[in-house]
Amino acid sequence: MVPFQNPDIYIGSLKIQEPVTVFTDMLVACVCVFAFIKTKSKEINLGVELYRWFFLTTGISTLVSAIIGHAFLYQWGFSAKIYGWVTGIVSVAVGQYAALYHTKETLGEKSFNALFWINAFEICLALALVFLVFSFVVVEVHSAIGLIFSVTVLEYINYKRTKSVLSKYIILGVSIAVLAVLCHVFKLAISVWFNHMDLSHIIIAISVYTMYKGVALYQKNFQHITITNF
């Protein structure tokens, strides 16, 4: 049992475990789906498109975690947490490649190709380890490598050279997400009805929304430039 775990609630005869954690997970999923839908665009840019899919896969991951990993874990068993862990690794992987393709012109072909395969190796290793070790720690380490040491570094390099508004908001979004990790590490719980996971989910929702603003502003600026040039 996690420290300050939400007590179970019942809706009729239906038992729901960790109800606040489930609710905040679903809040993150809603923000992710909102971000994915609102950034639909005809503009062709693989990096930006992958950021949209990062939103969606993150939403799927949190929804899977909410239903299988928390609300009805007693039905599925602890081993079912693997579904949320794997989808979480995949969503971060999409974010890694979104940053890589978004910064491709800044990096140059040689660096891009090297990082492409380094990322592929790290993602495959994370997927293998999460089954072998069977621990959420693998997901946390992969997220740190993927979002902090890959996405943030690449977008920072790109921002320094291009002043890209997308890079700026992605860096800010990841920085906010680090606070969510700290909540997990230090178990910053307010009470049994709002524990460290609940708080971290709220922060993640803010993080995703911040990244969404970056993509939306990029698309708006791109469309303005396109219309002006036309």
> Which domain range does residue 54 map to?
9-229
Q: How confident is the model at residue 230 (pLDDT cuts 50, 70, 90)?
A: very low
In a domain, 203, yes or no: yes
What pLDDT digit, counting tens, does each position of 84-110 carry?
A: 999 999 999 999 999 999 999 999 999
pLDDT above 80 (res 125) = yes
The whole-model pTM stands at 0.92
For residue range 29-67, what is the model confidence (pLDDT) as tens digits? 999 999 999 998 766 689 999 999 999 999 999 999 999
Query: Who has greater pLDDT, 182 or 24?
Result: 24
Q: Per-residue pLDDT for 141 more than 70?
A: yes
Query: Would you say residue 1 lies in a domain?
Result: no
Residue 139 lies in a domain: yes
Residue 228 — very low, low, confident or very high, per pLDDT cuts 50/70/90? very low
Those residues with Cβ within 8 angstroms of residue 120's Cβ, 6 or more apart along the chain or in another chain: none
Q: Say if 2 falls within a structural domain.
A: no
Could you count the other beta carbons within 10 Å of the beta carbon of residue 189?
18
DSSP 63-128: HHIIIIIIITHHHH-GGGHHHHHHHHHHHHHHHHHHHHHHTHHHH-HHHHHHHHHHHHHHHHHHHH
CA 207 to chain centre: 9
- Residue 159 placed within a domain: yes
Domain count, the chain: 1
Check which CATH number belongs to the domain holding 196 and give it: 1.20.1070
- Distance, CA of 137 to CA of 162 (rounded, Å): 35
What's the whole-number mean pLDDT along residues 183-190?
85
29 lies in a domain?
Answer: yes
3 in a domain, yes or no? no
Per-residue model confidence as pLDDT tens digits over 209-218: 999 999 999 9
